[in-house]
Structure 1
């Protein structure tokens, strides 16, 4: 049902409500073949082709349209996948007209065009977020969520660390189906097959209804969930050919009968990735070149199973579970060759690693709709358990004189997460709405780290982390003419308790550290929208946010090591707070919509990277985190969803960010630490074109440019690429073959040039130039109700304490 039709029905119903109406039209609609009742069928009341009012059928197929003037009407019955039919009703003879049971039949031609996965991705701008509907073009651009994120506006993935950033900042919160995960973001994005993704939501400035974590906002990944009657589903399978082949497959199944809907999704990802790079350092008297070679093989399985039980018109019970399993093994070889091999000792390091990650998530939601329209209560329970195991062996050989030693890192980590929240929505009047909610989050993590070193002192380290958050929020929304606004506040009590213990074979080096913190904070938010007309709208919003250090940022356990660098967290790290402001303008034209906006962020106690010398090894640096002074960041961005002709459409975006990067560096020739800062301007652009050659054949052309980025230690050089692909429909539209050639000119690489703390330059390369071929097939039957269902049934995030 088009938006204009819905608005017209609403306005007309208001107008007729002021008149003295007493007529009623009622009836019941069923499927002609199955004789089953059809809920959510659109009922349209017309007077000489002019729409007067309307409604939808209930779960039992019944409907009743009241307060009608006593006259003649035409009643139309419209439903996705069915032939529209109509009947004439004369209320002058019978003011309470009962149409009885009406049968409508499927439109077989239309059903052939219903597809679970669209040919091309589309972007929808909503009041508080951008929604990317993932099409086959994005699925073909990469085998995992991590790889397709680089094709999403405002989002970037670091090709080496896999760190995700939005609007140039890595403090971003990533959710799956509106829920947090115990798995690290980098690992999580590698686990999710691209074919399992239905939508990606970008929430750059969430309201008080959402958790305030993540300075850059929230990215919510929504997995497929179908809601058609009967048994149906789809299968996606593809192979990416690079240096080594990689597979990516997903199976979606759905079975709906009566009041119960069952659905499941299985995703499988397998592949071996080869990376290499070099770093040339010009440190005085220690000039050297480091060469790196890495090979990693991963097998990941993601299973989602859930059900919806429609108890009655007012009550719904939903539950699902996500189960993910990832098994990885890798190896790497690092060489350090000094220009002066006599004064310095050349080093070779070989490592082999095995890792396992298992995550279990269970979720249950009960929703009750009150008699008043849009008044509802929702209760949600969520629990997840994650286990991480790692076994890495380092073999290092140093020349002049020859010396070798072996170190083994054994890491075992577990995390338990529990969340309970309740949300209440009450539309007090047609222009005033109240939202209330409470939430409890309890997280407990434990890490055991054994550093086995036969040549030196060995250590058994443990890190226990407990974090409890209790919160409540309130939002009040009001509409006055063309203006609408919402004011809200979220109150949170935060309690942290962490312990780190070092037990070494040499008791002199043993130590115990305790970290505790408790904080009560208010997070206000404000949203204002001005809709000038149906083509122009403006949005202004503000929110206060927080970035609490993650376990990896505060854990002093070593994350990784090379002959000249080691990464570990900082237990003394404190949260950073951000005041975020945004203004957006949306213009709707004949060829599509364009949204442009500006943002400004004021940051206190900013968390940033810091580098200092290892006190136990003057030739090694420690990479960690620290809090710095206040900082500011601002930017401009624009995105468009355009259809130039019947055969050419495009999604395009561009953004430019301005910020000041701050951190601590250590002078290469002195042990003193010194603060440093640098002003950064970064420009990014993307465009995804879709060309329709025939009814079944389409081509895609994608281009991306990521501008030069400055850092405290080095400047990252610009990178860009072009992808070309095609899709062809087969089997009467039920199947689609997709082919895509990524990075046609092989331009992608991570190259840098730095002068602090000493001159260094280098580059890292990965399998960016690949060829993908895949197939999507839809099977089964049933009447498509997904487009007519409530927002929950579309599996979209509704937000608030109930979802975050």
Structure 2
């Protein structure tokens, strides 16, 4: 393979040389030397060498061999400039003079340095820390978090500042708000975020990016912002990789493993990542209703196996053209067993067992082409992303009522398919040294199809009302109900951003223009209802950054965002959600728009850094739940949605990284959120003010060169909603890692939730007075092993992509 790329590069150089203008000076000169990486001291193959004359016009050129050596002949006499270029490194220029007496020039060893990262980036933590603050996002490098080893993305995010994951429902919130968009590698997801996060192993995750106030370049959906999960993709020269495996032990055992590999040769970088999660997890709880002395006991066992595969390549055609592609494949098999037992006055009244067999499969394909023009920073980028998912499900439900006769026995066959097509064009033009213009276009098409066939198993009786067997069984299967919906969204968008720097102040002003079209059709038996909406909106944004010194940064930002109604919120057909809840959507529901303001200050010091921030959001046409007694069954609750008056939400955040000693580092964060929520319950307008306090503290201790310990503590304050009052939760985790096999292997050990403080405990007065608590397998021990192989250390440039940009909002894993 190397020989092929070497041959292609030589042929390309010869072709260019043949087209270069002739020079009347005698071509007797020779220049040679060796190129190595300044930091790793290793040779860099396939480096481009360009020779220019005194007028700085190219005359000839070549490339380095596998050992970093080069030799270029037939150089013209006189002044020549030698440019040494390699993607991801600073270009070196050497001036030489060729004469009859000095025609062989030895440049010796040339040291190339890697390109610096973004000029606007402010590093919040020291080199070995896990958090960094960029101009528009906070990046958490989760790879060094010992207490997250062997977990899923859902569990890992509970360790991330400003983020909370409801361990009961899996819903994720950012700054206390669940209106957040979750991306993987900056791309849309066709799988529900709660399910997606349970399928991604933490060992496959490189970092988590929190974008709390996105600019006009980003999709505007998600009131509280964007959480982008970045998967591993190496770009080291040669063959490199790592293997992870581990076992989580609790009431049930779970296995996880992952394999990360890359092969970089010449101008091509191949990369692959595979992860697997397999095992059982148990969830149980109790709900007590005080007005009728009833108790519900829940037992749930989830047995799942998920596979995640990401494969792709970056092809550096030349210094101006880059093509990249990758595919992500996700496959999950799930068996869910549940049982709900209802007791009245301490006497068991009914039992409702259920068995659900499901699959979740998704595929995504991403293609990216970038063209860099002659002017530095002047580029255009084309991207196409295609993703599809299907999640078929077969569910069996039974109900046994005292004296425990089988009164209900039916089956749901569900077919759910989603598809997303996404096309982007981004154009960047530096108008001057201190100004830049960004333009972009995007077209996004989302299609969702769902079919649900419910069949009832009815017992067969003779004329004497005696149960009989007709030879095929004791019951016959009849069609009970058929429901389906089609829900299609098309979004056409364009944006413009203007960046300007004046001395120590930089600003970015932008606007995004979107045309949103949606068509839906809902069917239940003979009943058909249609839904449609068309909205044109403008989303402005503004960022102002002031850097009085290298160690101080102030930032003020504003953006307008939107949360559009989901399928379930507008589906007008009554749907049975749980034995006690019936949901019905509101087709008249309008989007809610948010004006978000944010201020942050970052201070760096010798032993770490300190960040303080505050935000304020004004929400118009706020979407809220309505909770009423079900008019068809007074023992059930009817859940729906409506738009209420505008409300205010604001918060305060502090985070700090500090090097207490050479062997001790600490990372702490504190946040306080306040928000008003209003809604209807039994026709009564209810408004609550919810104050939530969260605190996280992580300590890392270096005992020896190869032995490290970590201690993590978290407190999540309680809160209120129109339905629940929730108690606080807390957790203490500890972990250790030991490097073995001369640093190529690492043994990890962790224990999570040592004192079992993670319990979802709540009480409610609407629509009925009840209390409850749900527990899950939060206290676990994990033992894992990682092995690193390969020796390449020279980093190539990662593709210039939209991986850090939000390019969608609803819908399939990529």
Instruction: Please report the TM-score for the alignment, with normalisation by the length of structure 1.
Output: 0.84
Shift in Å, 1:40? 10
State the partner residue of 1:785.
795
- On the 8 A contact 2:425/2:441 being kept in 1, the answer is yes
State the partner residue of 2:724.
714
State the partner residue of 1:321.
327
Shift in Å, 1:78? 14
- On the 8 A contact 1:121/1:138 being kept in 2, the answer is no
State the partner residue of 1:492.
514
- On the 8 A contact 1:140/1:773 being kept in 2, the answer is no
State the partner residue of 1:182.
190
How far apart, in 1, do the equivalents of 2:538 and 2:667 lie?
A: 38
Shift in Å, 1:58? 11
Match status 1:354 vs 2:357 = yes
Equivalent runs, 1:81-230 vs 2, <5 Å: 100=106, 102-103=108-109, 122-137=130-145, 140-230=148-238
Shift in Å, 1:181? 0.9
State the partner residue of 2:13.
none
Shift in Å, 1:101? 5.2
Match status 1:611 vs 2:611 = no
Distance 1:730 1:758, change over 3 A: same
Shift in Å, 1:459? 1.1
The one of 569, 576, 580 aligned to 1:553: 569
State the partner residue of 1:591.
607
Match status 1:288 vs 2:310 = no
The one of 674, 678, 681 aligned to 2:684: 674
SS at match of 2:158: helix
State the partner residue of 1:705.
715
State the partner residue of 1:304.
310
Match status 1:687 vs 2:677 = no
* Higher relative contact order, structure no. (Cα contacts within 8 Å, ≥ 6 residues apart): 2
Distance 1:160 1:97, change over 3 A: farther
Match status 1:270 vs 2:278 = yes
- On the 8 A contact 2:322/2:370 being kept in 1, the answer is yes
- On the 8 A contact 1:564/1:621 being kept in 2, the answer is yes
Match status 1:799 vs 2:805 = yes
Shift in Å, 1:383? 0.4
Shift in Å, 1:593? 1.3
Match status 1:470 vs 2:502 = no
How far apart, in 1, do the equivalents of 2:327 and 2:372 lie?
A: 24
Shift in Å, 1:477? 0.7
Shift in Å, 1:386? 0.5
Q: Kindly report the root-mean-square deviation, in angstroms, between the aligned alpha carbons of the 2 structures.
A: 3.5
Shift in Å, 1:624? 3.5
- CA displacement, residues 137-181 of structure 1 (integer Å, 9 cap, x when unaligned): 257355210010000010000011000000000000000111001
How far apart, in 1, do the equivalents of 2:88 and 2:443 lie?
A: 43
Distance 1:609 1:801, change over 3 A: closer
Distance 1:168 1:181, change over 3 A: same
How far apart, in 2, do the equivalents of 1:245 and 1:97 lie?
A: 72
- On the 8 A contact 1:317/1:365 being kept in 2, the answer is yes
Match status 1:428 vs 2:434 = no
Match status 1:774 vs 2:781 = no
- On the 8 A contact 1:30/1:101 being kept in 2, the answer is no
Shift in Å, 1:713? 1.9
State the partner residue of 1:237.
245
Match status 1:656 vs 2:656 = no
Distance 1:158 1:308, change over 3 A: same
Q: How many equivalent residue pairs?
A: 720
- On the 8 A contact 2:443/2:492 being kept in 1, the answer is yes
- On the 8 A contact 1:119/1:135 being kept in 2, the answer is no
Shift in Å, 1:259? 1.2
The one of 649, 652, 660 aligned to 1:633: 649
SS at match of 1:228: coil
State the partner residue of 1:388.
391
State the partner residue of 1:740.
750
SS at match of 1:195: helix
Distance 1:241 1:371, change over 3 A: same
- On the 8 A contact 1:222/1:796 being kept in 2, the answer is no
Shift in Å, 1:336? 1.2
Distance 1:757 1:97, change over 3 A: farther
State the partner residue of 2:533.
517
The 10-residue stretch of structure 1 (366-375 or 549-558) with the greater mean CA deviation from structure 2 = 549-558
Distance 1:130 1:606, change over 3 A: same
- CA displacement, residues 753-787 of structure 1 (integer Å, 9 cap, x when unaligned): 2223332111000000000111111101223315x
- On the 8 A contact 1:136/1:738 being kept in 2, the answer is no
Distance 1:447 1:97, change over 3 A: farther
Distance 1:424 1:432, change over 3 A: same
How far apart, in 2, do the equivalents of 1:259 and 1:355 lie?
A: 43
- CA displacement, residues 95-120 of structure 1 (integer Å, 9 cap, x when unaligned): x999645447999xxxxxxxxxx997
SS at match of 2:634: strand
How far apart, in 1, do the equivalents of 2:559 and 2:35 lie?
A: 48
How far apart, in 1, do the equivalents of 2:95 and 2:479 lie?
A: 91
Match status 1:397 vs 2:400 = yes
Match status 1:376 vs 2:347 = no
How far apart, in 1, do the equivalents of 2:63 and 2:224 lie?
A: 41
The one of 720, 730, 733 aligned to 2:740: 730
- CA displacement, residues 589-642 of structure 1 (integer Å, 9 cap, x when unaligned): 111111110000111121222222333322111234332221110000111222
- On the 8 A contact 2:47/2:86 being kept in 1, the answer is no
How far apart, in 2, do the equivalents of 1:595 and 1:441 lie?
A: 36
How far apart, in 1, do the equivalents of 2:105 and 2:163 lie?
A: 54
State the partner residue of 1:112.
none
How far apart, in 1, do the equivalents of 2:204 and 2:137 lie?
A: 21
Match status 1:440 vs 2:430 = no
- CA displacement, residues 377-427 of structure 1 (integer Å, 9 cap, x when unaligned): 000000011101111111112227956111222210111110001000011
How far apart, in 2, do the equivalents of 1:222 and 1:367 lie?
A: 20
State the partner residue of 1:52.
none
State the partner residue of 1:5.
none
Unaligned 5+ runs, structure 1: 1-25, 42-56, 64-74, 108-117, 504-509, 667-672
